[in-house]
Amino acid sequence: MKTALPAPRPPSTLRRNALWSALLLLVVALLAMLVWLAGIYEANQVQIRLERDVAEAVSDIRAAFVRNAQGLQALQYSDPTPNSWAIEAASFLHEHREIVRVEWRDSALRPLSQVDTPFRTPVFDHVGRAELQSEVVLACANARRVSGPAYASSYFVPLSDGLGVEVMELCLPLQKGSKVSGYLIATYALQEVLTGLLARPITRNNEISFTEGDGTRLALFGAGRRGSRVFSAHQLMDLPGTTLVLRMDSWRAAPDLFPNVLTALVTAMSIALVSVVALLGKDMRRRFKAESELADVLAFRKAMEDSLVTGLRARDLQGHTTYVNPAFCQMVGFSADELLGHSAPAPYWPPESGEEYRQYELSRQAGRAPPREGYESIYQRKDGSRFPVLVIEAALINAQGVQTGWMSALLDISEQRRVEELSRAGQERLQATARLATVGEMASLLSHELNQPLAAISGYAAGSLNLLRDGPQGALEFSAELTLAMQRIAEQAERAGKVIKSVHDYVRRRDQVRQAVAPQALLDAILPLVHLQARQLAVRVQTEIEPGVPPVLCDRTMVEQVLLNLARNAMQAMDGPQIKERCLTIRVRALKGSRAGKNWLEFSVADLGQGIAPDVREQLFNPFFTTKAEGMGLGLSLCRTVVEQHGGALEFAANRPQGTVFLFTLPASAVA
Ligand code: ADP
């Protein structure tokens, strides 16, 4: 995968339409050709069948002629008289409609006996048999020559009703020894031959006729459907002495559009093919639409990725980078080509952390999921500069629901770090300012407090000087008083020094180290200062430390400041004429049970002041909120910050019988 997915080029509509038209044209041409070929095939089939039928018909007729010749021959077996022969011949004709007359003639062709078919009026009645002898003579001459049945060409015999009949003579020589003793002459009516000798299926479907060489019809059976395409087949029927042409015209193969099943099948398949092509076309259109929609989505996604300021990086399960977005490339200063396909160590890993990062990746590949909220890391730009990043990782799941890698979103948090640093420095400055403000406030108290020891010192010094003015004797005389005065001076100087030192310590101590401190030590550190103010405001200070409480683990200076602030607030709350009982109580006790695996101590600072008004309560911890003319409004917000930094909580409640109690917790040191 590249940073930029190429947008698919929209295919030219003109070209696509031309292709589709060509395909359609080809398909239509192919189908038309198929239908045409199927038609030709069908016609061929019909022709072949017709030719087979006509050949069968010819062989049927030929076989019937042979059988008839044998039947006629049989009439002579019993050596008949002309009369008995006539009876036999009549019964023979009864069974053979196609023969209209049989004659028995002697060797000179003189008639001995003759019988006409009972099925029609005798054929030769109108014209007379004597007129029509030439064909008989020809046939018998042939018969004698071949010593077997012979036929003569057919001829037309007019009838009395104006019509006529086409007949053909058969001459059968009768042998006696080697001599011809006579002839049997049978006259076939060609029309009846077609009617009587052919099988029904053939005659039902076809028009059958005997024709002359030039196509003139001699006899016809069946009537074709006129106006339709007609298939015809000819077959020569060679008979001894003559040749007949049997012609068959079929109307079965009318040129329908679907002449048979094959064509219908081909047509149906063609329709199916066209439908499939149409469906394919529809499908293609849908596909093109989906493709163009996909292209839009891809373009949208690309625009979105390019506009992101968050770096995106995808890696496969082996740790090879498979995708990076422009923001990531910009962040690390490497181009996409330099990053893609890279496995650990990545070029943007600081060399000294490579092993650590690799271990982390290995553990993640082993199935340990990264934290949902992300983790911080340090990356190195191409120019070698380092910057902190926040990496948020999620599993990359493909369409089949299988994890194929990891997708990471990376945020350059150097700016955030800078702001945090600024704010931390600001906070520190604020704390220092607050301390200075407290000190400023105390300066007046200090001057008052220092006045006392200084006045005492100057008093003792003045007294001592007076005693010394009388000379060495006086000094000796009053040596005891002088010593006492000096002691007092030293004491008062020491006290003044202590006062100054406690303020100095408070302002200068900045060490942030957490250490185990006994609660008593914390109170001892602040009490001189508390007493200073307490004396001025006529407040009684009371401390109660539960016996056996463990030391507390804290930043000593800060916690002292919390105590000092709370005590100062408490004393100021009792500064009013209406407050009669002024007592400040600082208590320390151990809390029962443990929380977060630690034991906890509770510090409380209680006063008997006027309490906190409900509207003040809401804003108590807001920085710069104060109700005092000279107040800074920073004390409580600082206190809470400090306590929370130690993992504890600062709360307040109403005190009994009146006033307020501030409570905060701090962790106990494990060391007893
Ligand atoms: P400051 O003392 O400079 O005003 P703080 O943050 O220490 O700032 O206190 C904010 C306000 O909370 C005070 O002005 C005061 O009105 C109120 N307050 C603090 N402690 C007490 C208390 N013990 N009793 C009554 N009001 C208090």
Per residue in 242-270, pLDDT (tens digit) is: 888 999 887 654 445 555 676 677 778 87
Question: How high is the mean pLDDT of the chain?
Answer: 83
Phi/psi of residue 86, each to 5°? -60, -35
Closest-CA residue to 652 (of 612, 619, 599): 612
Whether 632 is in the pocket of ligand 1, judged by its Cβ within 6 Å, is yes
Rounded to the nearest whole angstrom, what is the distance from the C-alpha of residue 570 to the centroid of ligand 1?
8
| Residue owning the nearest CA to atom 12 of ligand 1 | 620
Whether 88 is in the pocket of ligand 1, judged by its Cβ within 6 Å, is no
Radius of gyration of the chain from its Cα atoms, rounded to whole angstroms: 69
d(CA 572, CA 169): 163
Whether 437 is in the pocket of ligand 1, judged by its Cβ within 6 Å, is no
**Yes or no: is domain 308-412 CATH 3.20.20.150?**
no
Q: What residues form DSSP beta bridges with 103?
A: 114, 185
For 557-597, write each residue's pLDDT tens digit: 778 888 988 998 999 999 888 888 999 999 999 998 777 77
Distances (CA, A) of 658 to 338, 523, 576, 607: 73, 24, 14, 8
d(CA 302, CA 314): 15
Neighbours of 353 (CB within 10 A): 16
Q: Which atom of ligand 1 is nearest to the CA of 623?
A: 6
Distances (CA, A) of 141 to 62, 144, 172, 180, 334: 21, 5, 10, 11, 121
For the record, the structure tokens of 9 come out as: 């080029």
d(CA 164, CA 155): 10
Whether 438 is in the pocket of ligand 1, judged by its Cβ within 6 Å, is no
Rounded to the nearest whole angstrom, what is the distance from the C-alpha of residue 422 to the centroid of ligand 1?
28
Q: Ligand 1 pocket test: which of 563, 569, 638 has the largest number of ligand atoms within 8 Å of its C-beta?
A: 569
Burial of 643 (0-12, 13-18, 19+ CB in 10 A): buried
19: helix, coil or strand?
A: helix
Rounded to the nearest whole angstrom, what is the distance from the C-alpha of residue 652 to the centroid of ligand 1?
11
Whether 562 is in the pocket of ligand 1, judged by its Cβ within 6 Å, is no
User: Integer distance in angstroms from the first to the last C-alpha of the chain?
Assistant: 62
User: What is the identity of the amino acid at 625?
Assistant: F
| Residue reference for tokens 């009768």 | 174
Letter string b/e over residues 444-481, b meaning 16 or more CB atoms within 10 A of that residue's CB: ebbeebbeebeebbeebeebbeebeeeeeeeeeebeee
d(CA 494, CA 500): 10
Rounded to the nearest whole angstrom, what is the distance from the C-alpha of residue 211 to the centroid of ligand 1?
141
Strand boundaries in 240-310, DSSP class E: 242-250
| Residue reference for tokens 């906190």 | 612
| Residue reference for tokens 């909580």 | 649
d(CA 132, CA 666): 155
Percentage helix, strand, coil, to 5, in the chain?
50, 25, 30
CATH number for the domain running over 513-672: 3.30.565.10
Whether 68 is in the pocket of ligand 1, judged by its Cβ within 6 Å, is no
Q: Which atom of ligand 1 is nearest to the CA of 605?
A: 23
**Ordered alpha helix ranges (H), 549-590:** 556-573
Closest-CA residue to 203 (of 391, 53, 68): 53
**Yes or no: is domain 60-252 CATH 3.30.450.350?**
yes
Q: Which atom of ligand 1 is nearest to the CA of 627?
A: 14
Q: What residues form DSSP beta bridges with 552?
A: 517, 668
Contacts of 512 (CB under 8 A, 6+ apart): 555, 558
| Residue reference for tokens 């009982």 | 581
Whether 621 is in the pocket of ligand 1, judged by its Cβ within 6 Å, is no
Residues 379 and 348: beta-carbon distance below 8 Å: yes
Distances (CA, A) of 7 to 1, 92, 290, 296, 324: 13, 99, 14, 8, 18
Rounded to the nearest whole angstrom, what is the distance from the C-alpha of residue 624 to the centroid of ligand 1?
10
pTM of the model: 0.42
Closest-CA residue to 408 (of 498, 332, 485, 494): 332
Q: Extract the residue ranges of the chain whose pLDDT is less than 70.
A: 1-12, 223-229, 251-260, 262-263, 367-371, 431, 434-435, 437-449, 451-452, 474, 502-513, 671-672
